[in-house]
Amino acid sequence: MERLAKIQDDALYPELPFSSDGCSGGLSAGWKTLAEQLPAFAEELGETVPWEECCVAHDRLYWAGRADDGYQRRLSADRELRNCVKSVGRRDSPALSLLYDISTERIEEIFSLAAEAMYAAVRVGGVPCSGLPWRWGYAWPQCIDFDVED
């Protein structure tokens, strides 16, 4: 967070406009490809990941991520993502239960597993100054030092 704080001290506003890839790690892109290639997939499951709104809200928090109290802010954002995905599972479980003849409890368990996997992924992959495009504070210039001393 110290390197990110230095960059944020030098720039009053983020350099990059907000952008989102939906759910990172290829999840949204893969879902979209399946929906384009398999009309029945899109008809039954939709053209976007059911919890994509959760990912975009999470991206907005990560985009503007500040170094000030950054660890707690990032942890809170990641917990919000996890809770949002679980909430979508609770919201959609009655309809999905009827569609697939699976109990609402099982649908919610599946969404919960996805939420926990996503939470673990963002905790590992979302650190600031990682060089990754989805890092905490991605509206700010990269803060990783790629120079290698001899």
The DSSP call for residue 53 is H
Query: What's the rounded Cα separation, in Å, for the pair 76 and 98?
Result: 34
Query: What's the rounded Cα separation, in Å, for the pair 51 and 105?
Result: 18
pLDDT of residue 148: 44
Neighbours of 136 (CB within 10 A): 27
Query: What's the rounded Cα separation, in Å, for the pair 104 and 97?
Result: 5
pLDDT of residue 131: 85
pLDDT of residue 9: 78
Query: What's the rounded Cα separation, in Å, for the pair 138 and 131?
Result: 9
pLDDT of residue 137: 92
Query: What's the rounded Cα separation, in Å, for the pair 87 and 111?
Result: 9
The CA-CA-CA angle for residues 22, 95, 48, to 5°, reads: 15
pLDDT of residue 122: 96
Question: Which regions of the chain are under pLDDT 50?
Answer: 148, 150
Total-model pTM: 0.88
Between the alpha carbon of residue 130 and those of residues 3, 28, 70, 117, 127, the distances in Å are 11, 22, 14, 20, 6
With beta carbons less than 8 A apart as the criterion, state whether 84 and 19 touch.
Answer: no
